Amino acid sequence: MHEIIGFRHIADFVEDLRRNFPERKIAFTNGCFDILHKGHVAYLEQAAAMADFLVVGLNSDDSVRRLKGAGRPYVPQDDRAFILSRLEMVDVVCIFEQDTPLELIKKVRPDFLIKGGDYRLHEIVGRDFVEAHGGKVLTIPLIEGRSTTNIIRRIKESNENRKFA
């Protein structure tokens, strides 16, 4: 599928998907995916394996700035959405402007809400909504040492070391 669907159209898209494929399950996850790395790809592969379709909510540039601070994201939202949508395991990407994905989760109504293992179940935004509608909330273990924060730290350290060389 590999679609990028606008926030205003995602509910209609999912409704058509459910009507055309009523027996298939939808998984949802979200994130900033600012600098794509091995941890992201492994996580998305595992999330996709939980269902028939994987919908990825992508924080907009403004949302990332509010969450991560000035200077972020490093990669603009349209580029991040394009890259994610081309990954084999990702069926749909939807950019959202809010600080949390709750409104998007309500539009998608996923069968599975999936987050990384750095979240405790009670911390996962949308959990109550998904479970109230018969869905399941799951966490996936993260790959140790693989994070955008670590990549940025290594780049900054490398640049600092060059200044003194």
Per-residue pLDDT of the chain (165 residues; tens, 9 = 90+): 799 999 999 999 999 999 999 999 999 999 999 988 888 999 999 999 999 999 999 999 999 999 999 989 999 999 999 999 999 999 999 999 999 999 999 999 999 999 988 888 899 999 999 999 999 999 998 777 666 666 667 767 776 766 655
Neighbours of 153 (CB within 10 A): 11
SS3 call for 118: coil
pTM over 0.85: yes
- Are 145 and 124 in contact by the 8 Å Cβ rule? The answer is no
What DSSP character marks residue 101?
Answer: S
Q: How far apart are CA 14 and CA 31, in angstroms?
A: 19
